[in-house]
Amino acid sequence: MDENDDQYRWESGYERTWEVIQEDESGSITATVNAINQKNRRKELAQLPNVRLGMMRHLYLVLDLSDAMKDQDLRPNRLFCAIELLKEFIFLYFDSNPISQIGIIITRKKRVEKISELAGNPRSHVALLEQLKYQECEGEASIQNALEIGLQTLKHMPKYSSREMLFVLGCLATCDPGNIIQTIKTCKENEIRCSVISLSAEVRIFRKLCTDTKGLFHVITDSTHFQELLQIHSRPLPALDKFESSLVRMGFPKYRTYTTSNANLTSTTASAKHEKASMCMCHLEQRGGTNGFSIGGYFCPTCESKYCELPTECSVCHLTLVSAPHLARSYHFLFPIEQFIELTMEKSINEKCFGCQQMFDEQKHKTIYQCTNCKSFFCFECDLFIHGTIFTCPGCIRNGQSK
């Protein structure tokens, strides 16, 4: 349907879409297609000013493992393709949201199973996804059961955090034990945003779920489009209306080794310090094995509990443990860099790209981009790299340092 949801595309007015494509002097349409792709990429990276974003996100990823995921319209099949792209999505999610958490839920045989709880360790989630490749896809999916199990945890999350569920579905129906409309209403009341990426086609109940909870609904066209849609969900979405502001208490532990002096144990000699191995709180519940058993780690500044990685939440005193770089990586979403001005290449512009230092070619660079502050010129690739990766204009940094 169209964005305004008034009518479907086939019910709208007749459009001459082929007139957008124009041939160049050699009869090629490559230049026109590249220009359209460049415009779409810049539009995706554009951030609206003065929009409140959910910086601390709690996201449940719901993966369909029904019979529909056996289809081979994605290679080698839907399940393998979805898992590979979701593994990339998890790392990208934590790169863009370093102080957020994610959990994984699967649905098949009309039931759901929570594979992992909300946590901030991307490698553990990726390892669990890798194991799902070899599980059997069978039965039908249950969207209502997935909503219910996600609702049990997300409704207790603080109101200053973003509560989200992302469904990756290949099914065209849902087999539920009760009234899913009432469950959707409960999610709306608890400010849980639900988004759906469909691998098949649009389904009315999926669209209603996204519309009522102010989520996003998309149907993929191919694996590349699938990857682009996941990238959209990796970035923080605009906060909902009832989003509250609050001061969050955080701890900044340093990595250190566990010694007798750190454990406040007495010794016969004041200079004697013996390193002692201990189990971290992350792997404490995993019986058997030696994972998490080491002499070093991050110790909570409040209760001295040990953890392998940051960010995480202390399971003893519930203090959010982060490092300074984690907050710094979230900083660019608060003050996004302005979009560069798009200019047509002119012969009078005898300059080179400030980023990659390549000379502008009138044939290759038909469009160049200029920073509104430092007036430096950039090519398309550097423009994407600045707005999508480093989030800082190198020309503005140089001028600021020179001052």
What is the average pLDDT score of the chain?
83
Q: 95-122: per-residue pLDDT in tens? A: 888 888 999 999 999 999 999 998 888 8
Distance CA 106, CA 142 (A): 10
User: What 8-state DSSP symbol labels residue 388?
Assistant: I
* First-to-last C-alpha distance (Å) of the chain: 52
Window from 47-51, 71-75, 136-140, 202-206 with minimum mean pLDDT: 47-51
What band does 59 get if pLDDT is binned at 50, 70 and 90?
A: very high
What DSSP string runs through 22-36? ---TTS--HHHHHHH
Most confident of 51-65, 66-80, 229-243: 66-80
Instruction: Tell me what pLDDT residue 9 has.
Output: 56
Which residues, in sequence order, are CB contacts of 219 under 8 Å at separation 6+?
197, 198, 200, 201, 202
Give long-range contacts, CB 8 A cutoff, 24+ apart: 48-53: 48/238, 49/336, 51/238, 52/238, 52/239, 52/243, 53/236, 53/237, 53/238, 53/239, 53/333, 53/334
User: What 8-state DSSP symbol labels residue 380?
Assistant: H
Q: 350-392: per-residue pLDDT in tens? A: 678 999 999 888 777 778 899 999 999 999 889 988 987 788 8
**Is residue 3's pLDDT more than 60?**
no
Phi, psi angles (nearest 5°) of residue 354:
-70, -25
Instruction: Tell me what pLDDT residue 14 has.
Output: 52
Distance CA 312, CA 322 (A): 7
Instruction: Tell me what pLDDT residue 70 has.
Output: 95
Instruction: Tell me what pLDDT residue 105 has.
Output: 97
CA 150 to chain centre: 18
Window from 10-14, 177-181, 191-195, 333-337 with minimum mean pLDDT: 10-14
Beta-bridge partner residues of 127? none
Q: 276-299: per-residue pLDDT in tens? A: 788 888 777 665 555 667 888 899
